[in-house]
Chain A
Amino acid sequence: MSATPTPIYSGPIEQGDLFPAARKSRGFLALIRRHPTIALGSALLFVILILAIFAPYLWTVDPNALSPAHRGRPPSLRNWFGTDLFGRDLYSRVLYGARVSLAIGFSVAVMSSIVGLVLGLISGFIRWTDAIIMRVMDGLMSIPPILLAIALMALMQGSIINVFVSITIAEIPRVARLVRSVVLSLREQPYIDGAIAAGTTTPMIIWRHVLPNAIAPLIVQATYVCASAMILEAILSFIGAGTPPSLPSWGTIMSDGRAVWQIKPYIILFPAAFLSLTILAVNLLGDGLRDALDPRMAKRF
């Protein structure tokens, strides 16, 4: 399931505006109070990032070290989150798994933004490509993202690169449409005509006018794409079409514990909790950014 796309409507009254300060107080705490969702989201994400990056130093063991004699043990002092069905320490696996899930989320967000940006710009500026590109994008969008990703993974071997590619392909269409709509609405603006008349080259127009306007919605959309990518990856790994066993992601860990979740729920619950918190953080961040940057820009989809 993808996370929410940018909602079309966004009214003038948002969380931030409900506490109109008598005077705009400066300072970090005031910033947090004005944008609580960004603060909360970033804080959560930061914590999880730290856990992922510093995993080797946080009392973890080799996440792939198996020990069948100790399989399926509940959380204990020795194994904080318990062990999975191969006797591997779940705490270590979850922390190392964070790396994989976060890496996929971020890289898909970045790559799909770049490719979507390029495609959107091309189809917005070069009219004759618009029809073709948009038809292809429509075609891709008409296939539910999860099925598209599964189909692409079935074509290729399970590797982290292939997971990255499949999910990126599934996410590009929405970004492309977003950028295209920005471009199209900008083209209506008189100052663009003026710029063209003055002889400004298209790359210059893109650089000076389009990009600054596109960057804000693009960033917001990127956060939603990140969340969506992480969920898609979890589902792919869960049904077995995801990352290879040597690179466990949260989805893989959950998939391993799927058959015994009624008797050993911790194998699914810990990665699920981490995944949910991470996605929550990213969503909050996205919401906050959207509200802060320009509430009305969300209308352009």
Chain B
Amino acid sequence: MQRRDFIRGAVAGATALAMPHIAIAQPNKTLRFKPNNDLSAIDPAFSAAFVTRYHAHLVFDTLYGQDNNLNPHPQMVEGHVVENDGLLWRMKLRPGLKFHDGEPVRAQDAVASIKRWARVDTFGQALMAATDELSAQSDKEIVFRLKRPFPLLPNALAKSSTYVPVIMPERLAQSDHTKPITEAIGSGPYRYIAKDRVIGQLVVYEKFADYVPRPEGRSEYTSGAKVAYLDRIEWRIIPDQATAAGALRAGEIDWFENPIGDLIPMLRKDPNIQLDLIFKLGDMGVLTFNHLHAPMNNPAVRRVLAKAVSQTEMMDAIGADASTTDVGFFTPESPMASKTGVPIGAPTPDYANLKRELAAAGYNGEKIVLITVGQSTNINTQAVVLEDILKRLGMNVELVALDFANWLRRRQSRELPENGGWSMLTTFIPGQDLWDPAGHLMLRGSKQHAYAGWPDIPKLEELRNAWFSATNDEMRRDICHQMQLVAVQEVPYIPSGRWLNPTAYRKGLTGVARHTPLFYNLKKA
């Protein structure tokens, strides 16, 4: 520690300008990762961006973790005890947990963190709605007193997708919840090094020496022991795909989160590079509607459109190395998924026929505004194909290309499509997020809670609420089955296939987790 400080001081002295010091790191103890986007927010409860999620898993820890099948296991807690017919849950923190500022983790920190998280997260909101009181019985014990049974409590606290229920110091968790936290102090295996951060270029994490990995339980995904074998993690932000691929091949980076489909064959041929389908659940193609305005407020029109989309064509267009083209409304591997009624669109739809059906459904030539982000392959590819499909149906469509900021903003607009609003948009959502109704932001019917588009399908909401109260798996599956049937009828969005999008890293990197880029338990040869 001291020698590194000395070198740091000497080199810093030699630098006239304020360039952040890049520590003279040993190559096989440093990992250079290229994420898809730059880290824009360090507060996991503030931003829904994927990179913030990865950041959360590096710097913070959670009370429960998930295994590869997304089942919850105790992580920061030793275990839980359920009393009173499921109305009282007690859990104790395991020994040795410390924050990066040296303070021990106490139950009060956990309670404050959970409350902060539950403000923004849908699963958390459902949990707190069922909770009478959440408190710290002592420095080590957390107690949930519930109004009604909530058997999925550990699942909620194990959530690994947005928003992650991370545990942070009480003082940070209780700070103004309308502002993001200013320091990323967690109790995870790595520390966020704020002073080495260069926006748009570099994010740096270093091993937290005082982290105590969980002694029991199997190490899988976010559960079990999290060991930091690598001393330093660098996220290199390289926006240009071709440059990043070149850098991976040249060994300038070790891990490329998601090369686009067309680069995969080239990377596959390279003897130094390993392709790995860690996002086993893939990315689900989503074509969604603005349910507020015509013609998309007409379920009959939506049904015809759903039939016009060929999942095969969409996945071809994205250059998918591997894909699933018979996807329903839930991620195929999920126990909640079923084949009923889906896929709706045939591989080669009969457009002439569909045109007639469209007229019968009541389409009168209303203008359709399809918004896309020109520079984003994910969003734009599907948009361009969708525009073509709508044109094949003889519809009056305009494709509007925006930059990401404008796209996000316009998505929030309730105006008429021609007046700064929108009719349809396309995107990909990780399969992990469409696993069950808890996190599924697209299968909502309560207008304001969906990802976008304000769908008005009361039956979906009813079924969703029922799902939370269901007492066993079979009930839950059955409810989801019904949800899918409702979705096929009402079409809140069109599933356009699933893209199995591999990650690419240099051979010699071992321990890469499934589902999400995680940085503990990694080793470099």
Q: Do chains A and B touch in the complex (CB under 8 A)?
A: yes
- Which residue numbers of A lie inside 8 Å of B, CB to CB? 66, 68-69, 71-72, 85-86, 154, 157-158, 239-241, 244-246, 255, 258-264
B262 at the interface (CB under 8 A from A): yes
Contact indicator B375/A264 (Cβ below 8 Å):
no
Segment 495-521 of B: residues with Cβ below 8 Å from A: none
Question: With A and B bound together, what is the CA distance between A260 and B377 in angstroms?
Answer: 12
Contact of A85 among B265, B319, B374, B401 (CB under 8 A): B319
Question: With A and B bound together, what is the CA distance between A122 and B459 in angstroms?
Answer: 69
Known interface pairs A157-B402, A240-B374, A244-B400. Does A69 touch B262 (Cβ–Cβ under 8 Å)?
no
Interface stretch of the complex, out of B8-16, B138-146, B238-246: B238-246
Segment 104-148 of B: residues with Cβ below 8 Å from A: none
Contacts of A255 in B (CB 8 A): 374-375
B360 at the interface (CB under 8 A from A): no
10 more contacts with CB within 8 A, not counting A158-B402, A262-B266, are: A66-B317, A154-B405, A240-B374, A255-B374, A259-B262, A259-B377, A260-B260, A260-B262, A263-B262, A263-B265
Segment 380-420 of B: residues with Cβ below 8 Å from A: 380-381, 384-385, 388, 399-403, 405-406
Contact indicator B242/A68 (Cβ below 8 Å):
no
Contact indicator A262/B245 (Cβ below 8 Å):
yes
B357 at the interface (CB under 8 A from A): no
Q: Give B403 Cβ to nearest chain A Cβ, in Å.
A: 7
Contact indicator B385/A68 (Cβ below 8 Å):
yes
Question: With A and B bound together, what is the CA distance between A69 and B314 in angstroms?
Answer: 10
Contact indicator A259/B374 (Cβ below 8 Å):
no
Contacts of B196 in A (CB 8 A): none
Contact indicator A245/B263 (Cβ below 8 Å):
no
Interchain Cβ contacts within 8 Å, total number = 73
Contact indicator B260/A259 (Cβ below 8 Å):
yes
Contact indicator B316/A71 (Cβ below 8 Å):
yes
B313 at the interface (CB under 8 A from A): yes
Contact indicator A258/B242 (Cβ below 8 Å):
yes
The dominant DSSP class at the B interface is helix
A-B contact pairs, 20 of them (CB 8 A): A66-B388, A68-B317, A69-B316, A71-B319, A72-B262, A72-B319, A85-B262, A85-B381, A86-B317, A86-B385, A157-B400, A239-B375, A240-B403, A245-B384, A245-B401, A246-B399, A255-B375, A259-B240, A262-B266, A263-B262
- Which residue numbers of B lie inside 8 Å of A, CB to CB? 240-242, 245-246, 260, 262-263, 265-266, 313, 316-317, 319, 372, 374-375, 377, 380-381, 384-385, 388, 399-403, 405-406
Contact of B246 among A86, A244, A246, A262 (CB under 8 A): A262
Contacts of A245 in B (CB 8 A): 372, 374, 380, 384, 399, 401
The residue in chain A whose Cβ has the minimal distance to the Cβ of B405 is A154
The residue in chain B whose Cβ has the minimal distance to the Cβ of A238 is B375
Contacts of A260 in B (CB 8 A): 241-242, 260, 262-263
Question: With A and B bound together, what is the CA distance between A261 and B388 in angstroms?
Answer: 25
Question: With A and B bound together, what is the CA distance between A240 and B401 in angstroms?
Answer: 9
Contact indicator A264/B262 (Cβ below 8 Å):
yes
Q: Give B499 Cβ to nearest chain A Cβ, in Å.
A: 13
Contacts of A241 in B (CB 8 A): 403
The residue in chain A whose Cβ has the minimal distance to the Cβ of B246 is A262
The residue in chain B whose Cβ has the minimal distance to the Cβ of A66 is B388
Contacts of A264 in B (CB 8 A): 262
Contacts of B260 in A (CB 8 A): 259-260
Q: Give B355 Cβ to nearest chain A Cβ, in Å.
A: 18
Question: With A and B bound together, what is the CA distance between A191 and B478 in angstroms?
Answer: 97
Contacts of B380 in A (CB 8 A): 245
